[in-house]
Amino acid sequence: MDQPIVTGKVKTVFDTDDAQRVLIRYEDKVTAWNGKHVEYPKDKGATCCLISALLFEKMEKAGIRTHYIDCPSLNTMLCKKLTIYPIEVICRNIAAGSIVKNTGGLTEGMLINPPIVEYFLKDDSKDDPLLTDDRVRLMGINPKPMAEVALNVNYHLQTLFTLMGIDLVDFKLEFGYDAHGDLFLADELSPDNMRLWKKGTKERYDKDLFRKDEGDIVEAYKYILLLLKQFA
């Protein structure tokens, strides 16, 4: 492979011979707290790549445009080349994580109905601060289309995970636009950017296992992949 054009925390992006496509390599790496805590678990990259591919395909079938094209290998994904918005979009169904810490009256596990969509600036140096809709607009970005897609993704993911016996607590999305200005779902869809609990419990199958040192994330992710192959 040539030199990467983007080196992220757990993924590396390369140009291809086609100017409209990139190759994304999912690394055997997991980070927490903006990269301050790092480990390199075997098979983690391939597992996240395969989960993301299955879920992107599910979204495409539901009419949601994604950057996904194909997986040339277990840990690489061929994708549309996009300009990525510096925004993380969070959809929440159950209270957990920062929303409990930073919001009065919430306890972990409390149902959020209807689900909410939040925006965070993607900037580790600022600890990814929460943004209002108006602040997103001040950045020259219209938040409404992203919120609409996030809630649509949430509907389809919740439907699928319910069949799997899993509660979709929350998840993070990223978006980008192509050369024509069209909006696409980007980044990944995996337990690395979701909270997934065994239904009716707080048994985790997501990156909180790593954050809280509660178990083997690769085995948990492989369990989710096994379920997806049965139900997706």
Query: In angstroms, rounded to a whole number, what is the distance separating the alpha carbons of residues 140 and 181?
Result: 13
Give the tens place of pLDDT for each residue, 108-154. Answer: 999 999 999 999 999 989 999 999 999 999 999 999 999 999 999 99
Query: In angstroms, rounded to a whole number, what is the distance separating the alpha carbons of residues 28 and 175?
Result: 24
> How far is residue 99 from each of residues 109, 112, 155, 224, measured CA to CA in Å?
11, 11, 21, 25
Give the tens place of pLDDT for each residue, 50-73. Answer: 999 999 999 999 999 999 999 999
Give the tens place of pLDDT for each residue, 5-25. Answer: 999 999 999 999 999 999 999
Residue 1 has a pLDDT of 61
Give the tens place of pLDDT for each residue, 158-207. Answer: 999 999 999 999 999 999 999 999 999 999 999 999 999 999 899 999 99
Q: What is the DSSP string of 28-78?
A: S-EEETTTTEEE--TTHHHHHHHHHHHHHHHHHHTT--BSEEEEEETTEEE
Domain boundaries, the chain: 6-80, 83-215
Q: Are 68 and 79 in contact (CB under 8 A)?
A: yes
Query: pTM, whole model, 2 decimals?
Result: 0.95
Q: How confident is the model at residue 36 (pLDDT cuts 50, 70, 90)?
A: confident
Phi (first) and psi of residue 190, to 5 degrees: -155, 170
The hierarchical CATH code for the domain 83-215 is 3.30.470.20
Q: Which residue has the tokens 């990139």?
A: 22
The hierarchical CATH code for the domain 6-80 is 3.30.200.20
